[in-house]
């Protein structure tokens, strides 16, 4: 059963008026972007104070660094939003909590969004940030480096992890919160739970906006399942949600990583839907999931 907190949370964000709904898709996207920003305080709660909160220019990519102590391992976080919306601000509270609970530094990345910047712009930004982290003096220990994100951000994270593996500079860990991994949107969960906030039509539009060329959508730099060999990928935490259309592709990826010999923890949070994990002020499971991410980072990077 869908948790009552999820039902209540769905009423927080502004819904587009009829004239916006009738407008062109870009006007709808602009409304969705602003509505997500406007709801941050109500959905995510107050900003947790930390010893270090600093905006950073990472080779031209805006980022925000959070830390509680010097020389901490670093976790690069990529926000969700269908590659088209979301920002540093929409995951600010999540990153603060992870930094506070994990003892790791967190770098929150403001990668370029589609449709203004289509594939591979966001991916290039992630690569630029990883290079910056390794070469710059951020006061962190870049020799212990993890990556992660939610939804579209999780897709960018695991593609970056695979590319780093192939380049001979493997990452130490990845955390993927309800990752968007299948451009074909073929999973049965789209049919079973697509009515709970994210459906096949919306996800198809997200993929098509991010990667307009259908051929490119099926390459290993877009679809992680097109990677012929997943061995050597970093240890992985995958979080999925019971009422999420992306549920099955996240589970399938966990199975594929395990089959390749990768250390994997896959946790399914029951009674919640897509997007639950950043709603720290409204959903108990959001705080539990965020703290699980922090615990996973501690285990992977600090011990």
Encode pLDDT of 146-161 as tens digits.
999 999 999 999 999 9
Instruction: Tell which residue, 250, 297, 296, 239, has the closest CA to residue 272.
Output: 239
CATH of the domain at 40: 3.40.50.1820
Among 3, 79, 173, 274, which one carries the catalytic annotation? 274
How confident is the model at residue 295, as a pLDDT? 98
Q: Which residues of the chain have pLDDT under 70?
A: 21
DSSP-assigned letters across all residues of 190-241: HHHHTTSS--HHHHHHHHHHH---TTGGGSTTT-GGG-S--TTPPEEEEEEE
How confident is the model at residue 16, as a pLDDT? 77
How confident is the model at residue 27, as a pLDDT? 87
How confident is the model at residue 26, as a pLDDT? 87
Per the structure, the complete domain to which residue 94 belongs is given by: 4-302
How confident is the model at residue 17, as a pLDDT? 79
Dihedral sign computed on CA atoms, order 248, 120, 149, 244: negative
- Domain count across the chain: 1
The yes-or-no answer on residue 151 being catalytic is yes
The yes-or-no answer on residue 295 being catalytic is no
Give the span between the Cα atoms of 70 and 92, in whole angstroms.
20
Among 182, 244, 248, 296, which one carries the catalytic annotation? 244
Among 84, 102, 151, 189, which one carries the catalytic annotation? 151
Cis peptide before 63 (omega within 30 of 0): no
How confident is the model at residue 185, as a pLDDT? 98
The yes-or-no answer on residue 14 being catalytic is no
């Amino acid at each position: 059963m869908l948790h009552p907190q999820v039902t209540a949370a769905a009423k927080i964000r502004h819904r587009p008026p009829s004239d916006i709904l009738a407008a062109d898709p870009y006007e709808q996207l602009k409304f969705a972007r602003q509505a997500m920003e406007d709801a941050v305080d109500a959905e995510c709660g107050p900003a947790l104070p930390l010893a270090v909160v600093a905006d950073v220019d990472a080779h031209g990519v805006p980022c925000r660094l959070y830390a509680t102590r010097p020389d901490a391992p670093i976790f690069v976080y990529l926000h969700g939003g269908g590659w088209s919306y979301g920002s540093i601000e929409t995951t600010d509270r999540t990153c603060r909590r992870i930094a506070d609970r994990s003892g790791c530094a967190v770098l929150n990345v403001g990668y370029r969004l589609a449709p203004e910047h289509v594939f591979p712009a966001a991916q290039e930004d992630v690569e630029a940030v990883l290079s910056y982290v390794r070469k710059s003096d951020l006061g962190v220990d870049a020799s212990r480096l993890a990556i992660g994100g939610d939804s579209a951000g999780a897709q960018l994270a695991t593609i970056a992890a695979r590319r780093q593996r192939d380049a001979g500079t493997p990452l130490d860990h990845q955390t993927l919160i309800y990752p968007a991994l299948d451009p074909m949107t073929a999973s049965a969960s789209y049919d079973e739970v697509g009515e709970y906030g994210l459906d096949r039509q919306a996800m198809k539009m997200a993929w098509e906006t991010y990667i307009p060329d259908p051929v490119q959508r099926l390459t290993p730099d877009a679809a992680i399942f097109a990677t012929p060999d997943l061995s050597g990928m970093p240890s992985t935490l995958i979080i999925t949600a019971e009422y999420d259309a992306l549920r099955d592709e996240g589970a399938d990826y966990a199975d594929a990583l395990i089959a390749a010999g990768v250390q994997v923890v896959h946790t399914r949070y029951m009674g919640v839907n897509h997007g639950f994990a950043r709603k720290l002020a409204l959903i108990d499971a959001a705080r539990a999931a965020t703290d699980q991410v922090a615990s996973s980072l501690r285990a992977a990077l600090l011990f």
